[in-house]
């Protein structure tokens, strides 16, 4: 069979294909996005889609499962919170066709607003959790999960982390298993979760979880590797690979299913080793349960609750090894920034000029919080810009938010922002919402959404009209402005923030990364430059200040957006059109 | 074979991902086990990015630990300095001589370190190339990463024929000749 190099997320998609999955719904979110992007390859066998949010995606998958096919929903860890409502209850319902929820955690916060641990949420929802440690397992655990889930009537969570999802390793492919659809039969006690039925189902699923915990002792992916018995390690997922590298001679109990735990196997293993360590990233999830069993072990006493582990960290914590590493300190940091030519930059520049603060949201435009733009004051979760601005007004009155707006991207607005806007209208807010409409879901790598006019396959799809949508919700003042039209933006922001009614400004210009290939650029003319520094104010990375305070524009980075050109009062910046 | 640890460091958007794809395919072609770990998402927006490539008989963890890198391929000067401590004793750095000011430098909150090349040269085996200019000579600045790879090829014990075969398989069809030329330019720069 074919053996190919595959990213963890691509392997999960392949696993879904091989396991006979037929329906997938997802909302993009780093580090989970590539699962769905890779599912597109299997379009003849799997229907997949981008949903407007994770709650919708999960419900779509639940419906497909009720109808009798293997289905899945994919999201990042914070998206799992959005999906919590259906998740906690579908747990009571159990499965028909089979249901997997892929949830990607982000230890180390490479691209997230928190470091929450999906294992804790899954446990609270009483869902089995599978955790692969490399691409091969990422693929294989999908099928195992469906088999276990179907046997014990459980939906299940496939938990990954950034390191797993974005690492590549070899994967051996097998053919797709054509799973026969389960018949749909009306089963009110199982599928209608009203109090009486849910109460009965709760009893059943508690029993199912006990049975599964027992079966976990014999589950092949919970595997013991007995070697030297001085040190025993219980671990799972990516940390397993760090353990193998750091302590190749140690005995290891590697858990492929991290919830519910195989208690007998753990007790057995603990008995055989002199000293037992639990090696896991983020929360002491396994550790606390092992300690609750009355087993002596060491975990978070020597490991952090934060960030990723590594073999060096394990060597240091367990063996006390401390190799001398001298790094250069006090180097200037290199935080992410808005790209050259990003339309958010010009919108923010105008807001900054007017002294407007922003309640922010989740997307590239969160980067408006950092200098020199420093416009965004808050960022919480998807949709929160609009609702939190409303809360500020209700706390402090209309005048308090005269110099505030909410900023939110097109995809985030459709995710959960529009509910918040409805609340603003309904409860008579006077706030201003700026929708930064760049015609894509930018941060996660340009996925389509209901406003782009294309579906996940790139095929034409109905396109929601944001103006009509906002008006339909009841916003009377909606205006559309080109993000690079500075005077028009300034006028709109001044007028709408002064207005004592809800208003929406749609600042529109496509993400600069959507168009590939050579672009025109601008050139700085040092002889005309008066060194005033105006062009540097928006913080475009293509511009550098020279020793003599004139500037240089990097022609490979410049995209020809013209923001610096518009700001220069001395004609010291010149347009260089594309060569024909 | 003992596991080889390669790091590719640079600034998000510089196109480091093609480089790691070539290395991954190369290790595969040579019959090694390989793991590659990349950064996606927010850091790709102009942040400091690092890719790990490890190959050998059996590779467990997908990341390169501090003090363990055999070769660091750096696409930007400051980033070479930032990840310098990942290099093992006797390791080599291939540096594309480009300076990209990070935002703290642009706004005057920090200074871009001076004398990075001299500093690194005094400590390790360092090879510097202005790959962007070399690539422009070939007519397309975007193949600069293949020039850097050509230099790095000296440190990875794969036959040049295998490099070329893999490059042909990895890059877009239209750009094969240009990329092969760029690789040759890079290869000839290390004596």
In the predicted structure, residue A533 carries a pLDDT above the cut 80: yes
- What is the arithmetic mean of pLDDT over B116-139? 94
pLDDT at position B157, please?
A: 85
Residue of chain A minimizing CA distance to B33: A170
pLDDT at position A1, please?
A: 59
Q: Which residue has the higher pLDDT, A445 or A71?
A: A71
In the predicted structure, residue B44 carries a pLDDT above the cut 80: no
Question: Which residues of B are less than 8 Å from A326 in CB distance?
Answer: 85
Q: Are both A162 and A234 inside the same structural domain?
A: no
Residue A256 contacts residue A236 (beta carbons within 8 Å): yes
Question: Which residues of B are less than 8 Å from A364 in CB distance?
Answer: 42, 45
Q: Which parts of A274-355 fold into alpha helices (H)?
A: 285-292, 311-314, 343-354
CATH superfamily label, B4-189: Pyruvate-ferredoxin oxidoreductase, PFOR, domain III (3.40.920.10)
pLDDT at position B180, please?
A: 96
| CA distance from start to end of chain B | 25
> Would the CB atoms of A444 and B41 count as touching at under 8 Å?
yes
In a domain, A350, yes or no: yes
Q: Are both A31 and A174 inside the same structural domain?
A: yes
User: Taking a contact as any Cβ pair under 8 Å apart, which residues of chain B between 10 and 49 contact chain A?
Assistant: 11-13, 24-25, 28, 33-48
> Would the CB atoms of A541 and B100 count as touching at under 8 Å?
yes
Phi, psi of A520, rounded to the nearest 5 degrees: -65, 165
The partner residue sitting opposite A312, judged by closest CB among B41, B46, B65, is: B65
The mean pLDDT value of chain A amounts to: 96
Q: How many CB atoms lie within 10 A of CB A217?
A: 15
- Hey, where are the domains in chain B? 4-189
Interface probe with B: pick from A160, A336, A441, A555, most Cβ of B within 10 Å = A336
In the predicted structure, residue A244 carries a pLDDT above the cut 80: yes
Secondary structure of residue A48 in the 3-state scheme: strand
Interface probe with B: pick from A241, A328, A442, A539, most Cβ of B within 10 Å = A328
Name the strand (E) or helix (H) holding A154.
none
Peptide linkage before A496 cis (omega within 30 of 0): no
Phi, psi of A101, rounded to the nearest 5 degrees: -115, 115
Using a pLDDT cut of 70, give the percent of chain A over it: 100
Question: Which residues of B are less than 8 Å from A237 in CB distance?
Answer: none
In the predicted structure, residue A516 carries a pLDDT above the cut 90: no
Secondary structure of residue A330 in the 3-state scheme: coil
CA-based nearest distance B119→chain A, Å:
11
Q: Are both A503 and A532 inside the same structural domain?
A: no
In the predicted structure, residue A580 carries a pLDDT above the cut 70: no
B112 touches chain A (CB under 8 A): yes
In a domain, A329, yes or no: no
| Positive/negative CA dihedral, A368, A369, A370, A374 | positive
Domain coverage including residue A284? 223-319
> Would the CB atoms of B47 and A166 count as touching at under 8 Å?
no
Q: Exposed (0-12), middle (13-18) or buried (19+): which is A504, by Cβ within 10 Å?
A: buried
pLDDT band at A69 (very low <50, low <70, confident <90, very high): very high
Q: Are both A444 and A483 inside the same structural domain?
A: yes
> Would the CB atoms of A332 and B102 count as touching at under 8 Å?
yes
- In this prediction the pTM is 0.96
Last residue of a domain, one of A191, A216, A241: A216
Least Cα distance to B183 among B156, B158, B151, B140 occurs for B151
Residue A216 and residue A148: Cα distance in Å, rounded? Answer: 10
Residue A513 and residue A340: Cα distance in Å, rounded? Answer: 10
- What is the arithmetic mean of pLDDT over B45-52? 90
Residue of chain A minimizing CA distance to B78: A331
Least Cα distance to A373 among A360, A362, A387, A390 occurs for A360
Task: Tally helices (H) and strands (E) across chain A.
Answer: 21, 23
In the predicted structure, residue A225 carries a pLDDT above the cut 70: yes
The partner residue sitting opposite A556, judged by closest CB among B78, B81, B141, is: B141
CA-based nearest distance B191→chain A, Å:
29
Q: Are both A534 and A496 inside the same structural domain?
A: no
Q: Are both A308 and A418 inside the same structural domain?
A: no
Residue A155 and residue A261: Cα distance in Å, rounded? Answer: 17
- What is the arithmetic mean of pLDDT over A296-308? 98
Please state, in angstroms and as integers, the Cα–Cα distance from residue A348 to each residue in A53, A198, A452, A507, A541, following that order: 26, 50, 23, 11, 15
Q: Are both A136 and A121 inside the same structural domain?
A: yes
How many domains are contained in chain A? 4
pLDDT at position A117, please?
A: 98
Secondary structure of residue A68 in the 3-state scheme: coil
The CATH number given to whatever domain includes residue A39 is 3.40.50.970
Tell me the per-residue pLDDT of A118-135, one tens digit each, with 9 for 90 and over. 999 999 999 999 999 999
Last residue of a domain, one of A466, A483, A514: A514
């Amino acid at each position: 069979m074919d053996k190919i190099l595959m990213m963890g997320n691509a392997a999960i998609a392949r696993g879904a294909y091989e396991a006979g999955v037929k329906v997938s719904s997802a909302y993009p979110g780093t580090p989970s996005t590539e699962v769905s992007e890779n599912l597109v390859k299997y379009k003849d066998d799997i229907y997949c889609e981008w949903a407007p949010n994770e709650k919708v995606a999960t419900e779509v998958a639940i419906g497909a499962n009720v109808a009798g096919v293997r289905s899945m929903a994919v999201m990042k860890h914070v998206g799992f919170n959005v999906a919590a409502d259906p998740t906690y209850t579908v747990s009571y319902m159990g499965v028909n066709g089979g249901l997997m929820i892929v949830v990607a955690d982000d230890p180390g916060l490479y691209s997230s607003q928190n470091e929450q641990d999906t294992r804790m949420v899954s446990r609270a929802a009483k869902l089995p959790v599978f955790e692969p440690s490399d691409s091969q397992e990422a693929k294989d655990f999908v099928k195992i999960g469906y088999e276990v889930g179907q046997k014990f009537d459980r939906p299940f969570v496939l938990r990954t982390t950034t390191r797993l999802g974005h690492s590549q390793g070899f994967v051996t492919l097998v053919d797709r298993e054509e799973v026969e659809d389960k018949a749909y039969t009306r089963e009110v006690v199982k599928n209608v979760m009203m109090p009486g039925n849910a109460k009965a189902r709760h009893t059943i699923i508690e029993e199912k979880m006990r049975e599964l915990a027992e079966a976990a002792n014999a589950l092949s992916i919970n595997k013991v590797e007995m070697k030297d018995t001085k040190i025993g390690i219980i671990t799972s997922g990516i940390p397993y690979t760090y353990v193998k590298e750091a302590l190749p001679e140690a005995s290891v109990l590697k858990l492929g299913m991290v919830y519910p735990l195989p208690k007998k196997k753990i007790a057995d293993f603990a008995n055989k080793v002199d000293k037992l360590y639990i090696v896991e990233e983020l929360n002491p999830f396994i550790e606390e349960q092992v300690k609750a069993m009355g087993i002596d072990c060491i975990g978070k006493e020597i490991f952090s609750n934060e960030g990723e582990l590594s073999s060096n960290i394990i060597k240091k914590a367990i063996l006390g090894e401390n190799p001398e590493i001298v790094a250069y300190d006090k180097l200037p940091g290199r935080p992410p920034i808005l790209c050259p030519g990003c339309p958010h930059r010009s919108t923010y520049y105008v807001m900054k000029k007017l002294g407007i603060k922003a309640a922010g949201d989740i997307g590239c435009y969160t980067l408006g919080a950092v200098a020199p733009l420093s416009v965004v004051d808050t960022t919480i979760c998807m949709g929160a810009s609009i609702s939190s601005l409303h809360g500020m007004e209700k706390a402090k009155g209309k005048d308090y938010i005269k110099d505030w707006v909410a900023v939110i991207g097109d995809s985030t607005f459709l995710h959960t922002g529009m509910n918040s806007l409805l609340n603003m209208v309904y409860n008579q807010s006077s706030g201003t919402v700026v929708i930064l409409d760049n015609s894509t879901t930018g941060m996660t790598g340009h996925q389509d959404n209901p406003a782009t006019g294309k579906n996940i396959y790139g095929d034409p799809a109905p396109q929601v009209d944001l103006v009509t949508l906002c008006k339909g919700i009841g916003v009377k003042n909606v205006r559309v402005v080109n993000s690079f039209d500075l005077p028009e933006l300034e006028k709109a922001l001044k007028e709408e923030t002064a207005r004592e009614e809800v208003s929406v400004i749609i600042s529109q210009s496509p993400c600069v990364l959507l168009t590939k290939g050579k672009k025109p650029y601008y050139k700085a003319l040092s002889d005309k430059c008066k060194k005033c520094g105006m062009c540097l104010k928006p913080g475009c990375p293509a511009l550098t200040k020279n020793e003599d305070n004139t500037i240089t524009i990097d022609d490979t980075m410049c995209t020809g957006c013209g923001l610096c050109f518009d700001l220069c009062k001395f004609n010291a910046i010149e347009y260089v059109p594309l060569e024909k | 074979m003992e596991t080889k640890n390669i790091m590719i460091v640079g600034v998000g958007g510089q196109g480091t991902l093609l480089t790691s794809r070539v290395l991954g395919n190369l290790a595969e072609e040579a019959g090694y086990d390989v793991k590659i770990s990349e950064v996606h998402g927010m850091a790709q927006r102009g942040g400091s990015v690092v890719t790990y490539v490890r190959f050998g008989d059996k590779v467990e963890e997908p990341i390169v630990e501090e003090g363990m890198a055999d070769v660091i391929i750096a696409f930007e000067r400051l980033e070479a300095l930032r990840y310098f401590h990942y290099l093992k004793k006797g390791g080599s750095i291939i540096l594309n001589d480009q300076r990209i000011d990070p935002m703290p430098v642009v706004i005057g909150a920090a200074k871009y370190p001076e004398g990075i090349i001299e500093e690194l040269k005094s400590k390790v085996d360092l090879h510097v190339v202005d790959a962007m200019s070399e690539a422009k000579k070939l007519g397309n600045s975007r193949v600069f990463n293949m020039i850097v790879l050509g230099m790095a090829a000296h440190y990875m014990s794969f036959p040049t024929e295998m490099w070329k075969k893999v490059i042909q398989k990895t890059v877009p069809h239209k750009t094969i000749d240009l990329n092969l030329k760029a690789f040759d330019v890079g290869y000839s720069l290390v004596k």
